[in-house]
Amino acid sequence: MRIIQTIAELRQWSREARRAGNLIGLVPTMGALHAGHLSLVHAAKAQCGRVAVSIFVNPTQFGPTEDLAKYPRTWDADCAALEAEGVDVVFAPVPEEIYRPGSSTFVEVEGLGSRLDGQSRPGHFRGVATVVAKLLIAAEPDRAYFGQKDAAQVAVLRRMVADLGLPVELKICPIVREPDGLAMSSRNRYLSAEERQRALVLRQAIDAVAASIAGGERDSEVLKAVARANFADQPSVQIDYIAAVDWATLLPVAIVAPGTLFAVAAWVGETRLLDNFIAP
Ligand code: PAF
C-alpha cells in the first residue's frame, strides 16, 4: 500500500492506473476508521480496479467551537486496517497541500448547505463541499464512496457534483450499526459508558418511525411526534433536529413518500450524533 502526500503524485497514480485499464475508486475519510468506513472500502474494492482512501481531518468543516483539535487521530490502526483490505493508496496530505497559502476559493452549495446539519453547524457544508471538490479534482476517480449516515452531506455532495459537472459517480452505502443498533461514527468513541447507553435512543426513535411507516402512517408531523416521544424518556439527550425531508432538496415534506429522508440529530453530552432512515 502506497502512502501519497501530494496532489501531483496522487493524480499521476490515478492517471497511470486508468491508462492500465482500471476504474478508480476514492473513499474520502477523516480517519478514525470503523466498520462503516470499511464497508465503503469493500464496496469500492468490489467495483473498482484500484482504490484510494484519503485521510484528511479537514479544518474548514469544523466550526470555531467544534472538536477539530481533539478529533480522533488513529493513523497506525487506520493504515493497518486499509492494508488488510487491500487498498492501493492512502492519500494523506498536510493541510497546506489542500489549502495553499493565500487560498480563498470555496464551494458553497446554496440553500441545501444551510439545512439540517448545515443549520446547526454554519459553514460546515461549505467546508465539506470544498474539500470533497478538491479531493475529486486531485484523484480524478470514476466513483467516490460515502455513507448514508451523513445523509445531508450526501444531498449536498450530489448537488455539487451535478452543478459542477464533475465526472464522477457517487456511491452511497447503507448505515453500518453496532450490534445493539447504534449507528457507527468516529465520534462514538467520545461517549462515556453511560452516554453510550443513552445514545441508543436515536436508533429507537428511527425504529419507531420505520415501524409507523410500515404500518401505513404517512403524516410527517405524526411521525416526528413518534420520534420525539422516544426522547421523552431520555431528557438528558438534547434533540438538535427531527426532520422528514426530500432527500434531494432537504426541504420538509408534509407527507412521507418512498425516498423521503427521515433524520435525527441529537446531543448526548458533548457529542452530536446522527441517525436516519429512507422511507421505502
Ligand atoms: O464524512 C466525512 O468523513 C467527511 O465529511 C468527508 C466527506 C471525508 C470530508 O472531509
Tell the burial category of 36 from Cβ atoms under 10 Å away from its Cβ (0-12, 13-18, 19+): buried
d(CA 240, CA 233): 16
Domain extent for 111: 2-173
Distance 179 CA to ligand 1 centre (A): 24
Instruction: Please list the pLDDT of the chain residue by residue as tens digits (280 residues).
Output: 999 999 999 999 999 999 999 999 999 999 999 999 999 999 999 999 999 999 999 999 999 999 899 999 999 999 999 999 999 999 999 999 999 999 999 999 999 999 999 999 999 999 999 999 999 999 999 999 999 999 999 999 999 999 999 999 999 999 999 999 999 999 999 999 999 999 999 999 999 999 999 999 999 999 999 999 999 988 899 999 999 999 999 999 999 999 999 999 999 999 999 999 999 9
- The alpha carbon of residue 258 and the mean position of all alpha carbons in its chain are separated, in whole angstroms, by 22
Phi, psi of 46 (to 5 degrees): -70, -30
Total domains in the fold of the chain: 2
Question: Does the annotation count 37 as an active-site position?
Answer: yes
On whether both 74 and 159 belong to a single domain, the answer is yes
Distance 58 CA to ligand 1 centre (A): 8
- Closest residue by CA, ligand 1 atom 5: 128
Atom of ligand 1 nearest to the CA of 28: 8
On whether both 117 and 233 belong to a single domain, the answer is no
Q: Are 224 and 242 in contact (CB under 8 A)?
A: yes
**Which CATH number fits the domain that encloses residue 228?**
3.30.1300.10
On whether both 24 and 86 belong to a single domain, the answer is yes
Distance 29 CA to ligand 1 centre (A): 5
**Which CATH number fits the domain that encloses residue 65?**
3.40.50.620
Nearest CA among 160, 147, 150, 164 for reference residue 110: 160
The C-alpha cell at 133 is 471538490
On whether both 197 and 163 belong to a single domain, the answer is no
On whether both 194 and 168 belong to a single domain, the answer is no
Residue 181 belongs to a domain: no
